[in-house]
Amino acid sequence: MLAHEQLKSGSSLLDLRIATPGARPVASHALIIVHGLPRAMGMGRQAAGLLPELAEHLATESGWMIATGTLSGVGGSTGTFSASQWMVDLRQILDRVDQDERRVSLAGFGFGGALALRIAADDERIRGVATFATPAHLEPWCGAAEEFRRAVQIAGVVGDEKDLLPAEQLRDDVLAIDPLVSIAKVPPRRLLVGHGTEDIEIPPSDARDLVAAAEGRAELRLIQGAGHQLRADPRMVATLLGWLDRHR
């Protein structure tokens, strides 16, 4: 069963979808799926398009509550992207899901994985984090400040141009997330780092660097032949389901 809600986050209105298993009682565990930052033309509307279907499947197979929201500027959510705003958004979603003593974990794709690690580093409510195709090094991932700002504009995650930060500030705001520093603070809570071996956007070596920063206290799953888009890869789904099942 998939329920649709809207959630206030500052001046943004977020679309939130919560999947619960229809044939069994809702477990005391919840997972929040975090999408990445689209970089291609017009992808802001589609960046999280497959996630409600994934949430329903995961809920049915695992018995967990699965929540997925579109962050500011993405999909049907209003507002404008910045790393700081997305952090506020994700905390709002966490506050919504963290009810009735649920044990909450996060699963993030791409830059969403970096956000998940950053939230977990400072919030002990998070019991575990799974990342997929997540950059360990945000400076090369961003590239030059003006080019990065232009990519954000082209992707269509800008509700109002006047709300978009200047180029250097926008980039510095992203760099402050620092996945390597964040992941070091998550253990002994559970960690899963997944990556496609043929990812040309973010090299698989970033996954190894994340695990090394966690002093090896993370599961590493390299998906052979997979590229950057892992959301619909059945091997990723099986990997995530196995991780959920081991941490009931």
Provide the CATH number for the domain around residue 78: 3.40.50.1820
Query: pLDDT, tens digit, for every residue of 73-83?
Result: 998 899 999 99
Note if the bond before 21 is cis, omega within 30 degrees.
no
DSSP string, 135-170: -S-HHHHH-SHHHHHHHHHHHT-BS-GGGSPPHHHH
Using one digit for the tens of pLDDT, what is the confidence trace for 25-84? 566 899 999 999 987 766 666 666 778 889 999 999 999 999 999 999 998 899 999 999
191 — phi, psi (to 5°)?
Answer: -140, 140
Give the pLDDT mean for 166-184.
98
Q: Which domain, by its residues, includes 116?
A: 2-245
218 Cβ contact partners less than 8 Å away, ≥ 6 residues apart: 183, 187, 191, 192, 193, 210, 211
Q: How far apart are CA 20 and CA 26, in angstroms?
A: 6
What one-character DSSP code corresponds to residue 226?
Answer: -
For residue 36, how far is the Cα from the chain centroid? 6
pTM for the model stands at 0.94
Question: Would you call 105 helix, strand, or coil by DSSP?
Answer: strand
CA 146 to chain centre: 24
Average the pLDDT over 103-114 and give the result. Answer: 96
Picking from 116, 51, 65, 114, the residue whose alpha carbon sits closest to that of residue 90 is 116
Task: Please tell me the predicted confidence (pLDDT) of residue 107.
Answer: 97
Crossing angle of helices 234-245 and 51-62, rounded to 10°: 40
Mean pLDDT of the chain: 91
Whether residue 23 is predicted with pLDDT greater than 70 in this model: the reply is no
The DSSP letter of residue 202 is S
pLDDT of residue 21: 87
Q: State how many domains the chain has.
A: 1
Residue pair 4/16 in contact by the 8 Å Cβ criterion: yes
